[in-house]
Amino acid sequence: ETGVTQSPTHLIKTRGQQVTLRCSSQSGHNTVSWYQQALGQGPQFIFQYYREEENGRGNFPPRFSGLQFPNYSSELNVNALELDDSALYLCASSLERDYNEQFFGPGTRLTVL
Amino acid sequence: GEDVEQSLFLSVREGDSSVINCTYTDSSSTYLYWYKQEPGAGLQLLTYIFSNMDMKQDQRLTVLLNKKDKHLSLRIADTQTGDSAIYFCAESMDNQGGKLIFGQGTELSVKP
């Protein structure tokens, strides 16, 4: 059984660019949640996808968007990057929205210059 | 409103017990969690407690919940240098799906 994987591990972009981050959920998990963790802070909930539909969203602007695919892998897209978007982006997978067992990936470190 | 607060740092000697504290504001919290994050890594779920419980023990870990004071603590017995990490308290609510609300994290430093 493989755990949650994310790619890439590190990424450097410039302000105004667009970025796509990817997440493969743990085997059998159909729910993926994305979090943003700024340096020295706790993770902040961006949104959750369940069976390819958005199932809840945190306080993030529309330039943060996502997708979930039939194999339950997921993408986080961020348009018009700002300096404050520099953070560790974490995805977590769970089974049937069972948030007691959310398993986190290692994260993607995004730096916006 | 939703807010979870933790003290930022804790330093203990190897072999001592560590107690990490957390307060939360939303009384409709359903579950409360403790996660561990090592440098450069994602979050590892350590344990969680349902809001109608007041204590949960799992090997070296003991979670205490005081629902009246909205206070959660994590006690680590016989703390080891490998326990050095950042510990996050988090809450979730029934009507908010998978949304976890995290505290700022407590950095635990274990000295030999």
Determine the pLDDT at residue B105: 96
Residues 6+ apart with CB under 8 A from B15: B78, B79
Determine the pLDDT at residue B13: 97
Most distant CA pair in chain B, distance: 44
Query: What secondary structure, in 3-state letters, does B4-48 show?
Result: EEECCEEEEECCCCEEEEEEECCCCEEEEEEEEECCCCCEEEEEE
| Chain A residues within an 8 Å CB radius of B99 | 33, 45, 48, 56, 58, 99
| Chain A residues within an 8 Å CB radius of B96 | 56
Mean pLDDT score across all residues of chain B? 90
Please judge whether B98 and A99 are an interchain contact, meaning their C-beta atoms are less than 8 angstroms apart: yes
Determine the pLDDT at residue B42: 87
Rounded CA separation A85/B79 (Å): 36
| Chain A residues within an 8 Å CB radius of B45 | 101-104
CA B78 to chain centre: 17
Take residue B101 and report the two structure tokens written for it. Answer: 């609300």
B19 Ramachandran zone, left/alpha/beta (phi>0; psi -120 to 50):
beta
Determine the pLDDT at residue A95: 83
Determine the pLDDT at residue B40: 80
The backbone torsions φ and ψ at residue A102, rounded to the nearest 5 degrees and listed phi first, read: -85, 125
Rounded CA separation A81/B40 (Å): 23
Q: What is the pLDDT of residues B11-20, one digit of tens each?
A: 999 999 999 9
Q: What is the pLDDT of residues B21-62, one digit of tens each?
A: 999 887 777 789 999 999 888 899 999 998 888 999 999 999
Count other C-beta atoms under 10 Å from residue A58's C-beta.
Answer: 17
Take residue B47 and report the two structure tokens written for it. Answer: 């344990």
Determine the pLDDT at residue A105: 94
Determine the pLDDT at residue A1: 54
Question: Are residues B88 and B35 in contact, defined by beta-carbon separation less than 8 angstroms?
Answer: yes
Determine the pLDDT at residue A99: 62
Please judge whether A33 and B100 are an interchain contact, meaning their C-beta atoms are less than 8 angstroms apart: yes
Determine the pLDDT at residue B31: 86
Q: By a Cβ cutoff of 8 Å, what residues of chain B touch chain A?
A: 4, 31, 35, 40-45, 48, 88, 90, 92, 96-105
Residues of chain A short of pLDDT 70, as ranges, are 1-2, 97-100
| Chain B residues within an 8 Å CB radius of A97 | 97-98
Determine the pLDDT at residue B64: 96
Determine the pLDDT at residue B38: 93
